[in-house]
Amino acid sequence: MQIKCFTVGAFQVNTYLLVDEPTGAAAIVDTGETDELVKQLCAISPVPDIQMILLTHGHLDHAGGLVALQSRFDVPTYLPRKEIPLFETLPVQGDWFGQPAFNRPCGRIDYLVEDGDEIQLGNTTLRFISTPGHTPGQGCYYDEQDIFVGDTLFYGSIGRTDLPMGNSAIMQHSLQRLMQLPGHLRVHSGHGPVTTIAHERQHNPFLTFLRQA
């Protein structure tokens, strides 16, 4: 699978273009909050054969650009089922940060994914693991080499749990499960650089609770 990262918008969120190379089938992971990603995708020649949009969670910097993206790429869109309550707050999330200019319409969701679900992208099978805590239903999509974790895990850090619907105890459980995945997996986060499961297992200061066992 070929991966290209586009860091977009005021929140500098990482969005990803995934291409299953033999078939050319492409997916987008997260949207940013503007139409910047759409512009970048349309500047690629030829424009990728985007067949699906995968959302990790419902925060405005990850899902707020959905309507803009769907207006150009009208393809099936996936959201973690438990994320619906947060996703539905997109029209008011800007207000939470005192930035009503960031309020966004919700966009259309076609499929609700749950832990263990599999999604076929050309010849690539993407699996979904539910990792709530940063939000009520955030989850990650992964194949044998790469995992897209949204704001669950960062290089040397983890997602905050102090925003509405966050929960730190649930987050710890999610991180515990995530760290049981193969160490070689390259971790593509919602913000910041690429890392691996093994690197974070060993060095992430927010995961010391796992190493004390």
Q: How far apart are the first and last CA of the chain?
A: 35
The single residue among 151, 158, 188, 200 that binds Zn ion, judged by CB under 5 A, is 151
Q: How far is the CB of 87 from Zn ion (least distance, A)?
A: 12
Cβ(75)–Cβ(66) below 8 Å: no
Which of these ranges, 7-15, 43-51, 52-60, 83-91, lies near Zn ion under the rule CB under 5 A? Answer: 52-60
The single residue among 28, 35, 53, 59 that binds Zn ion, judged by CB under 5 A, is 59
Which of these ranges, 36-44, 117-125, 144-152, 193-201, lies near Zn ion under the rule CB under 5 A? Answer: 144-152
30 is an interface residue for Zn ion by CB under 5 A: no
Place of tokens 């925003």: 163
Q: Which is nearer to Zn ion, 48 or 137 (CB)?
A: 137
DSSP assignments along 28-70, one per residue? EE---SSSHHHHHHHTSSSPPEEEEEE-S---HHHHTTHHHHH
203 φ, ψ to 5°? -115, -15
Q: How far is the CB of 11 from Zn ion (least distance, A)?
A: 9
Place of tokens 């995945």: 181
Closest residue to Zn ion in the complex (CB): 59
Q: Which is nearer to Zn ion, 124 or 128 (CB)?
A: 128
Q: Which is nearer to Zn ion, 65 or 122 (CB)?
A: 65
Cβ(16)–Cβ(29) below 8 Å: yes
C-alpha 72/C-alpha 92 separation (Å) is 24
Q: Which is nearer to Zn ion, 121 or 129 (CB)?
A: 129
**Subset of 113-142 contacting Zn ion (CB under 5 A):** none
C-alpha 23/C-alpha 207 separation (Å) is 38
Q: What residue ranges bind Zn ion (CB under 5 A)?
A: 59, 151
